[in-house]
Every structure is written in C-alpha cells, then in structure tokens.
Structure 1
C-alpha cells in the first residue's frame, strides 16, 4: 500500500513539474513574440516618420507644365518658402508659407497648387491643413499632403492672375 501511495505521489509530482516546464516554455515563446512585435512596430514607425529634406524659396525655378491639365488653377496666392518632408515608406508632405494677395475669407484649394515630382509629373495635394481662411494680405503656414510615392518632390508652384 505504501508503495502504491509513493508511486502515485511520484506521478503527481512529475506531472506538476511537466506543467511548470511547459508554462516556462510558453512564457519564453510569448516573450519572443512580444519582442518581435515591438521590432515590427519600431520598423513601421521608422517607415512612417517624416524627415526634413530641404527648404526652398518660393521664387526658385520650377519647370512650367506643358499640359494645361498639369497647371495649377489661377489664384491670388503666392509661395514665400516651403520645407519638403519625406518618409522612408514614401509619404510626401510640404509645409509651405503662403500669402493671400486677394480679399479676405479665402482658403487655399488643392487645385491652386501643384508639386513637381522627380518623374516629371505635377500633382495637387490630396489634403491641405490650414488654420481657417486667409485674411486680405495675410501670410500663413499650411501643410500639404501628397500621399505615398517613390518619387521625390522637387518643387511647388502656383499660378497667379
């Protein structure tokens, strides 16, 4: 009887140690998975981080589009200067200082400004962030988003009346 009890106790202890070892392995694998996920998140942040590329004066030469469809719409806005930003993942953005040479209460529209890209294409921003409308003669900073592309932004242009 004593041998049977000791045998049962031995089997019980070995199953507890097997479960403990299995839990240790699962915890170890979970730690590895968490580390890998952290690395992936870090890589994604690096891909999405915007990095300064260069500052350009608004009067610098940008090739004029040949096609009428590539030209920005006429406006009373003029470019003073702009900073070009890019991410490793291909996101393109510009922070531009723009002056309204018209009456008050107007906003810059995507059709009124174009970016000239390295592949000789002219693209309007997909989105513009501006703090309200412009007053007459007001100069503001606006952010222009151009989405994702492998081509670099070489310059911006507007077209005055």
Structure 2
C-alpha cells in the first residue's frame, strides 16, 4: 500500500468510522470491514467527503456535519397521506418501517418512513430519518488506492469476485 497517497477525487478510500447521532451510535464500520467508496463521486454525504479530502492512511479525524451538508434540513411539509386502499388488504403498517414509493410523473423511486396510520390513511414521512440532525463521525483512513477505469465507469462493487477470477477491468459477473 502506497502510504503517500491522499484522499482525493477518483481514489478508492477505505474508511473506518463511528457515526453518532444525538450522542448515540447510529452506524459504524471498523478497520477489519471498512466502508470502501470512490471519493468525489457523491457516494457519501458532502460534509463528510469534504472533510476527508487530503487525509492519508492512518489519519484519524472527528468530523461534525451540519444537516445542510448531511441529510438536509427536516421539512415538516414532507409528510404525505396515502389512502389505505392503495395497500393490499393484508398489509399491516408499522411505524418507522420504510416504504419504496414511486412518483407517477417522473417514475422516480424514493423511500418514505411510516409516521402514523389509522383505518383510512397511512402517513408517510419523506424526510430521511437523519434529516435535521448534526452528525458526528469519528473516522480513520485505513486504505487509499486509485480507482480502476471499470470502477470509475460502473461504480465500486463490494462482492466476492471468485466467479470471474478477480475484479479487473474485464469484470463481468454482477
């Protein structure tokens, strides 16, 4: 591993982190199973990506991300009511469960979270669960390497490459 490499655009970064939201651990990845992503491609939230730029392997940094650079501000008008008749008769909503919804005009698929429900409607919150929250990341860079042409074209895939003999540019197994 080239320890002179810096976190920069088009580099595959292996990141160990602990994410705290409201002083509680919300997510983590340790050095033995880090988050691997291509820097500068929008795979992680902007505030975190910006603060990691320029770090090198072994660097540790505590990063606070404001909502505007994380999952956005919470929008109170983003709770929609869906008629129960839109759901199968046997469907039992559970508060907090996610739903994949599709916009009829744009065909865009997005995730909502069940906020509340009664006999006639299911109220779905379209805000991300961490919207409006300050995010605290304790981070450590555990690896950096240039992304391959294939990774830059199709994204970084974390899977077992034994089906095709490795993850070179000839990668063909999905």
- Asked whether the two chains share a fold, i.e. TM above 0.5, the reply is no
Does 1 or 2 have the higher relative contact order (CA < 8 Å, sep 6+)? 2
Using the size of structure 1 for normalisation, the TM-score is 0.23
Which of structures 1 and 2 has the bigger CA Rg?
1
Between structures 1 and 2, the one with greater helix share: 1
Q: TM-score, normalised by structure 2?
A: 0.22
